[in-house]
Structure 1
Amino acid sequence: MSTLPTLVLVHGAWHGTWCWQPLIDHLSDLDVRTVALPSSGHNPAVLGDLYDDAEAVAKALAAVGGPTVVVGHSYGGCPVTEAAATVRDVQRVIYLSALMQDVGDSVLSLVDDVHPPYWDVHEQPQGNAEHGYFEAAQPLETLYGDVEPHLAQQSVARLGRQSLASVTQPLTQAAWRTVPCTYILCEEDMAIPLPLQEAMAARARRTVRLRSGHSPFLSQPAELARILREELALQSRDRQSSPA
């Protein structure tokens, strides 16, 4: 059995736990767990918000009951940032081309409350964002530009909707202020531009660069697995060398 920390994976907007499978296939000897975010799904009437997502992440982290490293991808960085500081056994947060924001920030505050062009927004009713949702308008280009075409098409078919509430609500906690963090920069990302990633990554203790688009768990699962193994090993060594 591996002595490395448990790895918990948190997906981004529109996705589900299915997106991690190619990566998990390269980590079969490790304890890897995934979190399904309530804000993402196919039925707009039952989508959750940021705080529902954070609660789901916190419960999954607490259920590990031992040393844990959590990975947040894209939007998934928001509920991870909100939740990770509240769970004692979380030893590191890894932001994978993810939003690494501060208390009071929301997803939309990054872009002056203007919806990005690759969002297909449905505000309901009468412009009420709390009850609206959005879909990925250009997923092949924005999310999966370097993913093998057949896998990219399969992934597009599985995308759901994302609640607008999840991107308008502000963070009330910022895990990176108290938990060691690593930021994995995806240098060819078309969804979160590299300069924005680099600005957020300035808050992390470590940064790693990956020449990939937005979804390396699909386009480069073996390389991403290697990076994550290295992070887990470093964290394990840090834990063993720390004073009791």
Structure 2
Amino acid sequence: MNKLPLRKGIRLLLIIALFLGTTIITSLGATMNPASAQDSKPTIVLVHGAFAESSSWNGVLSELIPKGYPTVAVANPLRGVKSDADYVTSVLKGIEGPIVLVGHSYGGAVITNAVNDNENVKALVYVAGFAPDAGETAAELSGRYPGGTLGPTLAPPVELPDGGKDLYIQQDKFHAQFAADVPASDAQLMASTQRPITEAALNEASGAPAWQSIPSWFIYGDRDLNIPAAAQAFMAERASSKETIVVNGASHVVMVSHPDAVAEIIEHAAADN
């Protein structure tokens, strides 16, 4: 019996199987890539601030992810305005398509300096965040208006090998100072896992502000003890904020205590672009 046709048939089947397998793998790859799967929605990049970490965005992420938004919660180094902004700039370069850049607290100063002519950044959202002008510092802005009480709650600085100092909030003062409208048990977890910021970062002058050329949105609580509400109102007005939300009774961590309100204003910024 001539086995040549049979061999050709088997070879043809293998080629077809290989082609189909490649197609399936390619399709799965597209499905697992958030950016390609959600081309119609911008990527939401969230930058946390001092004494916090990326998990502080968990409540907001829980609102955005089910709605199909690609999301990235950046681990902010908290070492210095320029160096932190450069790090976020590097993250942004790896993201295709439109971006909504969100910053909390000191993270607001970082996003203000991180755009660097990246045309994909379409909106800035300041969540109880600093929006400094060129030459301004976080420390100066927070002390420009009455109501800030962070200074007395700081623990003794941690001396660093390079001569710098790391700052923490005393754990027994963290709840009242930083997260008064969060359950005490949750606030204790936040206090235990807080990440320090260098003293130099809070006193480093900002560069040219991105909010001069990119639309901005602001949300903050009227019970914020880290950045007084009056300071945030001033910065929002100066930046010609497209929408400013003041959450009654909210502390400095408005994204933890009112994640739905924060997610909503982020969606407004996303829909505007």
* TM-score with structure 1 setting the length: 0.84
Higher strand residue share: 1
Q: Distance in 2 between matches of 1:169 and 1:93?
A: 21
Q: Determine the structure 2 residue equivalent to 1:186.
A: 221
Offset of residue 197 of structure 1: 0.9
**What is the aligned-residue RMSD (CA, Å)?**
2.1
Offset of residue 176 of structure 1: 0.9
| Matched residue SS, 2:134 | coil
Q: Distance in 2 between matches of 1:21 and 1:115?
A: 24
Q: Distance in 2 between matches of 1:155 and 1:174?
A: 30
Q: Distance in 2 between matches of 1:86 and 1:56?
A: 15
Offset of residue 223 of structure 1: 2.6
Q: Determine the structure 1 residue equivalent to 2:137.
A: 106
Q: Distance in 1 between matches of 2:229 and 2:246?
A: 10
- What do the CA deviations read for 1:79-120 (whole angstroms, capped 9, x no partner)? 1111124322111111111111111111223237x9822333
Deviates more, 1:115-124 or 1:211-220: 115-124
**Residue segments in structure 2 that go unaligned for 5+ positions in a row:** 1-36
Q: Distance in 2 between matches of 1:115 and 1:161?
A: 14
Q: Determine the structure 1 residue equivalent to 2:165.
A: 132
Contact 1:96 1:186 in 2 (8 A): no
Higher helix residue share: 2
Q: Determine the structure 1 residue equivalent to 2:189.
A: 154
Query: Is residue 82 from structure 1 mapped to residue 78 from structure 2 by the alignment?
Result: no
Matches within 5 A, 1:1-244: 1-2=37-38, 3-28=40-65, 29-39=68-78, 48-110=79-141, 111=143, 116-122=151-157, 124=159, 131-137=164-170, 138-204=173-239, 205-206=241-242, 207-211=244-248, 212-233=250-271, 235-236=272-273
Q: Determine the structure 1 residue equivalent to 2:11.
A: none
- What do the CA deviations read for 1:51-79 (whole angstroms, capped 9, x no partner)? 22111111122221210111110111111
Offset of residue 189 of structure 1: 1.4
Percentage of pairs with the same residue: 26
The count of aligned residue pairs is 223
In the alignment, residue 227 of structure 1 is paired with which amino acid? I
- What do the CA deviations read for 1:5-51 (whole angstroms, capped 9, x no partner)? 11110001022212111221111121111111112xxxxxxxx3222
